[in-house]
Amino acid sequence: MVIGKNHNGVYKEMITLRCQICNKEFNTYRFTKKQRKFCSLKCYYHSLKNIDQYRNKRCLYCDTSFISQQHSKKMIEKNKYCSKECRGLHLGEMQRKGEHKTCPQCKKEFYAKKCNSLYKCCSQSCAFRYKTGKPNPKASITISQLIAEGKINPKRNFYKQGWYVTKTGNKEWFGSSYEEKRMKQLDDMGVKWTKNHGIRIPYIDGKGNQKHYVPDFLVDNKIVEEVKPKSVIDTNFNNCKIKIPFAKKYCENNGYEYRIITENDLPK
């Protein structure tokens, strides 16, 4: 074992390596083992001359010739673009490449990215139904359960959303201005209510897939309320009309009363 003295006057262990150019042995500190490949600067500059033959390259994107400025053969081989702009444009085009397909289950066209080129169906529910011939019973269970327990709050664009502090000091999330008005109305009436009730109502959508949705309020532990504008119900937005008969049947079987609250029932 060789002991050497560094510039701070501290003795440290040294190891013996072999130069890659002149094949001579030289001593270096153990912590510089991975960095030291040559015994001197003369051998280092000689190694750069040997690499010059690999520096002339052609850009993979714009097909122009350029000279790579990397200092090792391995990094020169990895250098495929003449500039960062060409690299970004080429990678962006590769990610956007895909193809238009037709779902064998619902017969709708969808766009599959290059990373999803093996996908045959437009969604997981269609893929499950295409393979088994039955709707997926586990579809939307996890998300609807978290929403019903109040662990996550669904955020929607173009709606007034936020936290409402009840008279008892609890915080409840409202997903629209109608829900906020109903919260204030229930508090003024002195009625017990909550949105974190844990109720998930199963229903079958227009495609025949089984899904779950969470009603807005549970009042006095016996009334299930859904707050919706009349226009949403009339236009069947987000399968609203489809959900109502399933919700009524669920409430009858579980001893609840089902109630729909529209803008006519809310204070102006």
Domain ranges for the chain: 1-54, 57-96, 98-132, 141-265
- State how far the Cα of 200 lies from the Cα of 185, in Å rounded to an integer: 24
pTM of the model: 0.48
Residue 247's SS3 state is helix
For residue 105, which of 124, 85, 81 has the smallest C-alpha distance?
Answer: 124
Model pLDDT for residues 220-236, shown as the tens digit of each residue: 999 999 998 888 888 87
DSSP 59: -
Model pLDDT for residues 251-266, shown as the tens digit of each residue: 999 999 999 999 888 8
User: In Å, how far from its chain's centre is CA 191?
Assistant: 40
5: number of Cβ within 10 Å: 10
Q: Is 17 exposed, middle or buried (0-12, 13-18, 19+ CB in 10 A)?
A: middle
Model pLDDT for residues 153-188, shown as the tens digit of each residue: 776 666 788 888 888 888 888 888 899 999 999 999
Tokens of 27: 């001593």
- State how far the Cα of 33 lies from the Cα of 12, in Å rounded to an integer: 13
- State how far the Cα of 88 lies from the Cα of 92, in Å rounded to an integer: 6
Please list the residues that pair with 65 across neighbouring strands.
58
pLDDT at 247: 92
Q: Where are the alpha helices (DSSP H) in 153-266?
A: 177-189, 230-235, 240-254
Instruction: Say yes or no to pLDDT of 194 above 60.
Output: yes
Residues in the chain, overall count:
268
Model pLDDT for residues 15-65, shown as the tens digit of each residue: 888 888 788 888 887 777 777 888 888 787 777 666 666 678 888 888 888
| Per CATH, domain 141-265 is 3.40.1350.10 | yes
Instruction: Decide: 39 and 22 in contact? Cβ < 8 Å.
Output: yes
Does an H or E element contain 42, and which? helix 41-51
Instruction: Give the best-scoring range by mean pLDDT among 84-98, 140-154, 189-203.
Output: 189-203
DSSP β-ladder status, 223-227 and 257-261? parallel
Please list the residues that pair with 223 across neighbouring strands.
219, 257
Contacts by residues 57-66 (CB-CB < 8 Å, ≥ 24 positions apart): 59/83, 59/86, 60/86, 60/90, 61/86, 61/87, 61/89, 61/90, 62/86
Please list the residues that pair with 109 across neighbouring strands.
102
pLDDT at 233: 82
pLDDT at 252: 93
